[in-house]
Amino acid sequence: MARDFLYLMAMLDWHSCYVLSWELSNTLDVGFGLSALGCALRQQPAPFVFNYDQGS
């Protein structure tokens, strides 16, 4: 059995804690992040503040 990593990126609304979008990928390429961000921006207008933690 292969032991690969899967990466989850979730975009949350900090006020309501609602998950706006999420993506699952086996790579950390730029398209993975842009896809999740694009989907979230279609759900909600662009926020004034955008935070990220890079898994920390």
CA dist., res. 48 & res. 6, Å (int): 30
Q: What is the pTM of this model?
A: 0.65
The predicted pLDDT at position 49 comes to 67
Tokens of 30: 């730029």
Nearest of 42, 29, 56 to residue 11 by alpha carbon: 42
In this prediction, residues 8-28 reach a mean pLDDT of 86
